[in-house]
A = this chain, B = another copy of it.
């Protein structure tokens, strides 16, 4: 049976111009999926008309409204019941789809998803988890901004959820989990982090202890757990410095005719380097802790990046991520892990 993926076709900075072609690419790449494009029907059909695709594998569901990229979550929840985001989530709730992908406003997506799909039993707060490149492969980091001011107990739940995700999607039976802090001395950091440190130690999680910001990229952990504020600072600072480095690298090769020639000669090497650290490859953050699968794409995602978010949705459906999280959290409550 096909995996049905509901796409919030209107979401993101470029909306249909990205979501529609990326969905068609996904159909080509994955023979086992069916895509439901949710949004303004006439507009979607107009964009679809420009492409070749198997029409039996795409359904269009009309939605009259669009959640704005800067709309307050509470307003999106109250006033946008006919939005493409809301209707895509409704399709998941009603089992018409097994996952939803949206490049819309993160706060609104989390609020509406929590309201429509509900959190798993015994999960206090869903978290946003993304994977990031490391010198060895990749690492799953959560939370990235959904929860500010977590308790130690919340962070423990994030450790369980991240560990389950890594285990499910990477096939790693004992993912190494680190807790983001500012020093290796046990005296540093916030109380919540010290609490979480003790709580996680008591479980069977493969806990490696405190890590610092630079450790995220070293590849010595598979999961990094942090408060949403801290995770967001780490993620955004990393994005900023990576953009600055790219800026100066381009500038150096564009300085004059000689540097431009050097750039042409080095182009294949620079291209292979760029592909390796390309943030678009890591697009598609998971809203973990909900009863169903919701993937948040970066708002500025292009067609290639949005395709990765759809691929992440498909992978999590095939690995039954929410069911596995639920089972592990139940064990945790019963003191079995």
Contact = CB atoms under 8 A, between A and B. Distances in A.
Interface string A108-136: 00000000000000000000000001110
Interface in A249-294: 249, 251-253, 255, 259, 262-263, 265-266, 268-270, 272-273, 276-277
A306 to B, nearest CB: 20
Interface in A232-259: 232-245, 247-249, 251-253, 255, 259
B244 A134 contact: yes
A260 to B, nearest CB: 9
**Highest count of chain B CB atoms <10 Å: which of A240, A245, A251:** A240
A236 B106 CA distance: 25
A252 B237 contact: no
Contacts of A236: 182, 212-214
Given A214-B239, A240-B213, A248 B273 contact: yes
Given A148-B188, A262-B266, A252 B229 contact: no
A217 interface: yes
A148 B248 contact: no
A215 B240 contact: yes
A235 B259 contact: no
A148 B190 contact: yes
A240 B252 contact: no
29 contacts: A107-B183, A107-B185, A133-B244, A145-B183, A148-B189, A182-B228, A212-B232, A212-B236, A213-B232, A213-B233, A213-B238, A214-B236, A214-B237, A214-B243, A217-B240, A217-B241, A230-B233, A234-B234, A237-B237, A238-B238, A238-B240, A238-B241, A248-B276, A248-B277, A252-B272, A252-B276, A253-B266, A259-B268, A262-B266
